[in-house]
Amino acid sequence: MKIDRCYCFQKRFADLKTVAEETGAATVQDVQQHVEFGKNCRLCHPYVRRMLRTGQTSFERIIREEDEPRTCTSAE
């Protein structure tokens, strides 16, 4: 199963990436200023951090907080 969205808010990572590119948002919190997502279980946060870091928008494996800690992005 591919993981390609915030399931709680049904927001695709590809769409969040577009928002980040258009607005210059560099952190999960920055993107949340423009799109409603990631405010329930928050399991999508490490995926969005990896997306912001690498540009990847679809993931094959589980990414946990410890796999993609907040310190990975210099702006957080």
The residues binding ligand FES (CB under 6 A) are 6-8, 37-38, 40-44
Q: Specify the residue, 21 or 36, whose C-beta has the smaller distance to ligand FES.
A: 36
Asked if residue 58 lies in contact with residue 3, where contact means CB atoms within 8 angstroms, the answer is: yes
- Least Å distance, CB 39 to ligand FES, is 6
Torsion region of 10: left, alpha or beta (phi above 0 gives left; psi -120 to 50 gives alpha): left
Q: Specify the residue, 14 or 41, whose C-beta has the smaller distance to ligand FES.
A: 41
Cα–Cα distance, 51 to 54 (Å, whole number): 5
- Least Å distance, CB 46 to ligand FES, is 10
